[in-house]
Structure 1
Amino acid sequence: MTFPAEPEIATIGAATFLSVTGAGLPGTDEFYARKATLVAAAERLGHDGLVEGLYWFDPGHGDVGIAGFYWTVPLEHLRWRLIVRVPDDTELPADLAAPGLSLFPYAEGKVVQVTHHGPFAGEDETMARLGAFADSQGLRRNGPHHEIYFDYFDRSTSQENFRTILRDPVA
């Protein structure tokens, strides 16, 4: 996978993911517990556990644009789905479905994306660049905000050198 330094348009095909869902602020005990469950299950199925996140707000919160995604609606209203890509023919053993894991087929289609370097808390400038690029192309967010995390993280991990692809499906 490439790390686009400047915002770009791409087309992302269908894939199957192992997933777990939640709500509220990322970084909570619940978030990290569900992330750990997902990674352990992916490893048990023989996959590397590269975690990605889909984030959205219920439609009642209005049209939340790309640039201000995390700053428009209070984050306690955020919905999320953490995902790990698996082969399309993966079957989920019954005991893994018990802790809330499920298989999730997902096709994004046309997206705008860019790589963010550094802590999650500094994503505002990168999201502003991505949003301005989408606006310049006459595109609007059309689905969940997507983050692809290339670095392992938990509460104690330094985020200084993180690489995260920030991606939004658009129309």
Structure 2
Amino acid sequence: MTFDVKKEEKQFYSAKGPELIKIPSMDFMAIRGTGNPNDEGGAYQRAVQTLYAVAYTIRMSEKAGISLPGYEPYVVSPLEGLWWQDGYAGVDLNKKSDFQWWSMIRLPRFASHEILDWAKNTAAEKKKIDTSDIQWFTYDEGLVVQAMHHGPYATEPETVSEMNDFVSDHELKEDFSTRYHHEVYLSDPRKIAPEKMKTILRHPVKK
């Protein structure tokens, strides 16, 4: 049976209107960067391509005749991103050139540091790419308000406004001291119309 985290942990990969939810600690392969994600051929787009190359090296290892310890068939998890700007509490989605970010893909549950290192080295050799920026990244997110955003990334501020109203109405407070604006990308913008895209947005909060 193929393990699909979106089905096994539905509460973390689906949402409707704003809701309060606690997210457990999760392990990712991740790249840290800066700058506008829309820059053609820029750092963010290169990071995404590199992450997917390594993710699928692990995913396809069995078919390549490699026996990784504990391997089980699985679906590669969605791309995710943490976003912030220096000196700003939260994130200003209209100032993309100032973005600081982590681009990341959740690791399969059998993953280890040794498996990630093997996948980085294998992808670098086979695909002639630099995978050295990929890190093992553990994010203990905790209590958040999350909501499903429908539509292009440019209209995300509308959903963020609804999340802010939810925070105020439920006597919560945003807490960006050590946590970030978080996006979980459930749609591939290369394959789906912008108005049909789905993205989970999360903001850290405390009571």
Q: What TM-score, normalized by structure 1, do the two folds share?
A: 0.85
- What count of residue pairs does the alignment treat as equivalent? 163
CA RMSD of aligned residues (A): 2.1
Residue 31 (structure 2) pairs with residue 5 (structure 1): no
CA contact (8 A) 1:39 1:49 kept: no
Could you report, residue by residue, the CA deviation over 1:53-102 in whole angstroms, capped at 9, with x for unpaired residues?
A: 110112xx23236xxx314xx32221011111112642222626843111
SS at 2:173 equivalent? coil
| Alignment-mate amino acid for residue 98 of structure 2 | H
CA contact (8 A) 2:20 2:145 kept: yes
- Percent identical pairs in the alignment equals 28
Structure 1 counterpart of 2:68: none
Could you report, residue by residue, the CA deviation over 1:119-166 in whole angstroms, capped at 9, with x for unpaired residues?
A: 111111111101111122331132210000011234x86322111100
* Higher percent of residues as strand: 1
Write the mapping of 1:4-153 to structure 2, written as runs, cut at 5 A: 4-28=15-39, 29-30=41-42, 31-46=44-59, 48-58=76-86, 61-64=87-90, 69-71=92-94, 74-86=95-107, 87=109, 89-91=111-113, 92-93=116-117, 95=121, 98-136=131-169, 137-142=171-176, 143-153=179-189
Structure 1 counterpart of 2:194: 159
CA contact (8 A) 1:112 1:170 kept: yes
SS at 1:134 equivalent? helix
Distance 1:80 1:106 in 2: 13
Distance 1:62 1:112 in 2: 19
CA contact (8 A) 2:90 2:180 kept: no
Structure 2 counterpart of 1:168: 203
CA contact (8 A) 1:43 1:49 kept: no
- Quick one: higher RCO (CA 8 Å, sep 6+), 1 or 2? 1
Could you report, residue by residue, the CA deviation over 1:39-60 in whole angstroms, capped at 9, with x for unpaired residues?
A: 11111111515100110112xx
The range that moved more, 80-89 or 48-57, is: 80-89
SS at 2:78 equivalent? coil
Distance 1:33 1:77 in 2: 18
| Alignment-mate amino acid for residue 70 of structure 1 | L
CA contact (8 A) 1:16 1:88 kept: no
The range that moved more, 139-148 or 97-106, is: 97-106
Q: Which runs of 4+ in 1 moved over 6 A?
A: none
Q: CA deviation at 1:5?
A: 1.6
Distance 1:124 1:35 in 2: 23
| Alignment-mate amino acid for residue 90 of structure 2 | V
CA contact (8 A) 2:187 2:197 kept: yes
Distance 1:120 1:4 in 2: 17
| Alignment-mate amino acid for residue 57 of structure 1 | Q
Gaps of 5+ in 1: none
